Chain A
C-alpha cells in the first residue's frame, strides 16, 4: 500500500548547520495495517510523515502509494500534496477556526477537481457519516473555536476520513490531550482504523501508544529506522540497547558472556562481583564478549537477605527511593555500583529507603545483547541497508 525507498532529507538549521532529519528510510506497509513510527523527539518521524503527505519533498528516494509513484527523485516526479488523496491528522489538529464543525469536515469534499466533486446530497451524507462515526453529530453547528481539545481531535479525525482516503497519517495526535482523554482516544483511533479498514501511519514518541495500537512498529533514532517488528518483537526481542531502553525503559547491565551461545540459547553473563545471571542470547555470541543484560523492571523479585554471608553469588541491593503506584511499587535500587529500576507487588514487604534485599533476576526472562553502545546507531543502519 505504502512503500518508501531510501528517503533522505537534510535541513539547514541556522544554529546547528546541516541536519540529516531523515537518513535512508525505507519501509513497506501492506494495505489495512496500522504502522507506527516510534522514536524520541527530533528523530525525524514527522519529517518522514510529511514526505509521505507531500508537505515536504525528500532530497532523494521514492514514495509509492497504492502502486502509484507520488515521488521519485530519479524520474523527477512530484505529485503535490493536494493530489495524493491522503487523510492526515496534525499534531495541532489544525481545525480551521473560521468554519463550523460541519464545514471543517465538508472541506475536503468541496475542493479538488470540479468534475470529481460529489453532488450536495451525497456530500452531506458523507459528512454526517464521518461526524457520526466520531460521535460528533450533535456538534455539527458548533464553531470550531468552541470545541474542547478532545472534540477538536475527533473533528480532525472525521475530516481526515471523510473523503475515504486509502491512507491515514497521524502525527502525535494524542500528545496535546490530558492523560484520561488520551487513553479514551487511543481506543477510538484503533476502533476507527479497523472499522473502515484503512491503512494508517502513526507517529508517536509514546511507547505505550505504539505497543497498544500497532500491527507493526518501526523504531527511529537520528533519522534512521533501527528496528522494525510487531509490538511483541519490539518489546520482547529488542536488537539494541537503544530499543530496549526506549521501549519499556529496561535496565541495561554491562557484563561478559561466559560462554559461546547461539541465538535464543541460554547464556550465563558475569556481571562482576561474583554475580552471574542466565539470560537468553539475542544473537550469536562468543565467549568473553562484552554484552549488556536487558533487565525489565518486572523481571526482578526481591527476597529477604540470606542469613550468613551475603557474597554467595546473589545480587544485593539497597533501596534508594520508592514510588507507590497502587498495585505495585517502583523501587530505585542501588546494586553493582549502578541504579536499577524494579517494579514489585505492593503488599507485605515494607520497602524503606536504606533497607537491603537480595535481588533475584528470573533466569531466561532477560535478553543478552552484544554491547553496541560504543558504536553509532547510524553505522549499524547503514549496514542493514546494504544487506
Chain B
C-alpha cells in the first residue's frame, strides 16, 4: 500500500509498547481491574458498618468486646413491655401516615392531572417550594402552628369561638398527620406519572358502556393506578418507620416512642447501650426489608402497566361541574396548609421573643435574631461543615456510582453484579441505624475516625450510594456503547475514553445526581445526629439541640439560614454547570440505537 500511516502501527517500531502477552486469567483480571477496585472501595465502606452492627446486636452492649455471643439484647428488648409498645406504635405510625399521605396525594394528583379544577397549576409550585425545607424544620413549623399555648391555630380558634380550645398536637393522630404532610411532595410526584399515563380512552370506553362517573373512577381509574398507589404506600410506610424527626419533635413530649426514638434514647440517655440499640436497629431493618421487597414488586408491576406513548397524547379532563370549586379549595388548600408551617418559622425568625402572629406583634419584628445567630461561631462552623461535607459526599457518590454503573451496564459479570449488590445494600439501613453503625464501627476499628468530620462524610457517602447508582444507571443506559467503542478504535486508551467520551456524555446525569445528593445531605438529621459533635458538627443536629434547649426564635433564624444556604449553593452550582451544558449542547442525547 502506498498510503502513509500517521498513527502507530501495532507493535511497529520502538514508540509503541511491545504488545503484551497475557494468560487468559491475567487478561481477565486486567479487564476487571476497575470493577475489582470499585468493589474493594465500596466493600470497605459499606460492609464494616453492616457487620459490626449485627455483631454488636449479639454482644454485650456496654463494652467494645464482641467475644461472647449473646441473645441477651434481643431477650431484653423483646421481654420489655415498653419495647413492645414502641414496636406497635411504629407500625401504627407507619401504616397511618402511609394511608393518609397516599389518600391525599392520590386525590390531589387526580384533581391536578385529570380534572378541570381551577388553580391546579399552583399545586406543583407550592409543593416543590416546601420540598426544599428540611423535614425537621417543617416539623418545628407545625409545632409553632398547632402547638399548645403559643400556637397560631389555637389562638385563632380561641379568638373566634371564645372557648379555650387546644389542638391535641401531642397525640399519635397529630404525629401521623404531620408526618404525612412532610412526605406529601414525594408521594405526590410518585403518583402523578401513573395518573397521567392511565389511558383516558379506557375511561371513555367505560362511560360509553353506561358506567356512571363514580363507577368509572372505582372500576377503571383506580385499578389502573393501583400498582403505583401500592408502591407509594410501601414507600411512605418505609419512610415513616425510618423517620426520626417527627417522632423526636412530637412523639417524645407526648411520651409516644417508636423504634427510631427508642434507638436514640438507648444511645443518648444515661449510659449508652449499643447492644439494645443494635437489637432495635435489627428489628427496624427487618421491617424495612419487608417493606422494600413489597415496594420493589409493586414498582415492577406499575412499570408493566405503564403505557408508552408519543408526545401528541393529551388526556382529556373530567369536567367536575359545580364541584370544581370544592375541588379547588382542596387542591389549593392542602398545599397551602403544607406551606404555612414554614411561614410560621419565617415569622418566628424575625422576633426576639416568640409570640404568635398578630397585628400588635408586627411592631416587634426585627432582624436582630439573624444578626446574633449569624455571629455565633458554632452556627457558622456547622454550616460550613454541612456545605463542605455535602459537596464532598455528592462528588464521591457520583464518582463511585458513575463508574460502577458504567462497569455494570457495559460488562455484566460476577464482579460487577456483586458491586451492584453492595451498592444497593445501604437501602436496608435507615439513616439512624446507619449512623449508629458507623459510630460503632469507628469505635471498634481505631483508625482515628471517631470524633472527626470524616466519619460524617463516610456515613453520607454510604447512605447515598444507592441513590447515586440509580442516577448513574439511568445515564449509562441511555448511552450507546458504540460511542465508547468508536473512541477505542480511534486510538484512545481506556483512560482517554472515560475522560473524553464517557464523562462529558454522562455530565448532565452526574450533575443532577450530585445536586440531589447535596440537597439531601443538607436535609439529613437522623443519619448524622449521632456523628456530629463539638468541633466537627453539622447544621441540622446543632439546630436539633437548639430547638430542644434554646430559644425558639434563634432556632427559627438558624433554620432559615440553613434553607437559604442550601438554595444558594445549589443555585450557584446550577449556574456554573449551566455554562458547561451550553458548551456541550445535546450532551444528554444519545445516538439512535441501531434497528
Contacts A96-B483, A166-B3: A55 and B489 contacting too (C-beta < 8 A)?
yes
Residues of B within 8 A of A55 (CB): 485, 488-489
Most buried by A among B7, B584, B594: B7
A17 within 8 Å of B by Cβ? no
Contact present for B23 and A92 (CB under 8 Å): no
Residues of B within 8 A of A84 (CB): 10, 489
Contact present for B22 and A163 (CB under 8 Å): no
Contact present for B490 and A145 (CB under 8 Å): no
Chain A, range 43-62, C-beta contacts under 8 Å to B: 53-55, 57
Chain A, range 93-117, C-beta contacts under 8 Å to B: 93-98, 107-109, 111-113, 115-116
Contact present for B589 and A107 (CB under 8 Å): no
B11 within 8 Å of A by Cβ? yes
Contact present for B1 and A166 (CB under 8 Å): yes
A257 to nearest B CB, angstroms? 42
Q: How far is the CA of A98 from the CA of B505 in the complex (A)?
A: 7
Contact present for B19 and A126 (CB under 8 Å): no
Q: Mark B473-489, 1 if CB is under 8 A from A, else 0.
A: 00000001011011111
Q: How far is the CA of A78 from the CA of B490 in the complex (A)?
A: 17
Q: Mark B569-595, 1 if CB is under 8 A from A, else 0.
A: 000000000000000111101111111
Residues of A within 8 A of B594 (CB): 91-92, 172, 175-176
B15 within 8 Å of A by Cβ? yes
B121 within 8 Å of A by Cβ? no
B504 interface neighbour in A88, A98, A169, Cβ under 8 Å: A98
**Number of residues on chain B facing chain A (CB within 8 A):** 50
B4 within 8 Å of A by Cβ? yes
**Number of residues on chain A facing chain B (CB within 8 A):** 61
Contacts A68-B12, A97-B587: A199 and B1 contacting too (C-beta < 8 A)?
yes
A114 to nearest B CB, angstroms? 10
Q: Mark B1-32, 1 if CB is under 8 A from A, else 0.
A: 11111111111100110011111100100000
Q: How far is the CA of A246 from the CA of B369 in the complex (A)?
A: 85
Interface segment out of the listed A69-77, A215-223, A282-290, A330-338: A69-77
Contacts A53-B489, A55-B489, A86-B489: A164 and B591 contacting too (C-beta < 8 A)?
no
B267 within 8 Å of A by Cβ? no
A94 interface neighbour in B4, B23, B482, Cβ under 8 Å: B482
Contact present for A98 and B586 (CB under 8 Å): yes
Contacts A91-B482, A96-B483: A176 and B490 contacting too (C-beta < 8 A)?
no
Residues of B within 8 A of A92 (CB): 480, 482, 591-594
A83 within 8 Å of B by Cβ? yes
Chain A, range 108-136, C-beta contacts under 8 Å to B: 108-109, 111-113, 115-116, 118, 126
Contact present for A97 and B505 (CB under 8 Å): yes
B489 to nearest A CB, angstroms? 4
Residues of A within 8 A of B215 (CB): none
Contact present for A112 and B7 (CB under 8 Å): yes
Interface segment out of the listed B305-313, B323-331, B491-499: B491-499
A181 within 8 Å of B by Cβ? no
Contact present for B490 and A97 (CB under 8 Å): no
B31 to nearest A CB, angstroms? 9
Contact present for B7 and A145 (CB under 8 Å): no
Contact present for B22 and A78 (CB under 8 Å): yes
Question: Chain B residue with minimal CB distance to A46?
Answer: B594
Q: How far is the CA of A113 from the CA of B483 in the complex (A)?
A: 21
Q: How far is the CA of A163 from the CA of B8 in the complex (A)?
A: 10
Residues of B within 8 A of A176 (CB): 592, 594-595
Residues of A within 8 A of B483 (CB): 94, 96
B62 within 8 Å of A by Cβ? no
Q: How far is the CA of A106 from the CA of B500 in the complex (A)?
A: 13
Question: Chain A residue with minimal CB distance to B497?
Answer: A82
A164 interface neighbour in B6, B19, B593, Cβ under 8 Å: B6
Contact present for A116 and B8 (CB under 8 Å): yes
Q: How far is the CA of A83 from the CA of B18 in the complex (A)?
A: 11
Contact present for B491 and A163 (CB under 8 Å): yes
A198 within 8 Å of B by Cβ? yes
B482 interface neighbour in A79, A90, A164, Cβ under 8 Å: A90
Residues of B within 8 A of A77 (CB): 19-21
Contacts A92-B593, A94-B591, A96-B501: A81 and B3 contacting too (C-beta < 8 A)?
no
Q: How far is the CA of A92 from the CA of B480 in the complex (A)?
A: 8
Q: How far is the CA of A172 from the CA of B595 in the complex (A)?
A: 11
Contact present for A164 and B3 (CB under 8 Å): yes
Contact present for A164 and B587 (CB under 8 Å): no
Q: How far is the CA of A68 from the CA of B8 in the complex (A)?
A: 12
A156 to nearest B CB, angstroms? 8
Q: How far is the CA of A31 from the CA of B1 in the complex (A)?
A: 6
Residues of A within 8 A of B493 (CB): 80, 82, 111-112
Q: How far is the CA of A76 from the CA of B27 in the complex (A)?
A: 9
Contacts A68-B12, A79-B19: A175 and B5 contacting too (C-beta < 8 A)?
no
Question: Chain A residue with minimal CB distance to B20?
Answer: A78
Question: Chain A residue with minimal CB distance to B22?
Answer: A76
Residues of A within 8 A of B486 (CB): 88, 90, 94, 96, 159
B130 to nearest A CB, angstroms? 36
Residues of A within 8 A of B591 (CB): 92-95, 97
Contacts A82-B488, A91-B482, A92-B480: A165 and B22 contacting too (C-beta < 8 A)?
no
Chain A, range 139-190, C-beta contacts under 8 Å to B: 143-145, 159, 163-166, 169, 172, 175-176
A66 within 8 Å of B by Cβ? yes
B492 interface neighbour in A66, A82, A145, A159, Cβ under 8 Å: A82
Contact present for A108 and B7 (CB under 8 Å): yes
Cross-chain pairs A/B with CB under 8 angstroms, 11 sampled: A31-B1, A53-B485, A92-B592, A111-B500, A113-B16, A126-B6, A163-B7, A163-B490, A165-B7, A175-B594, A197-B3
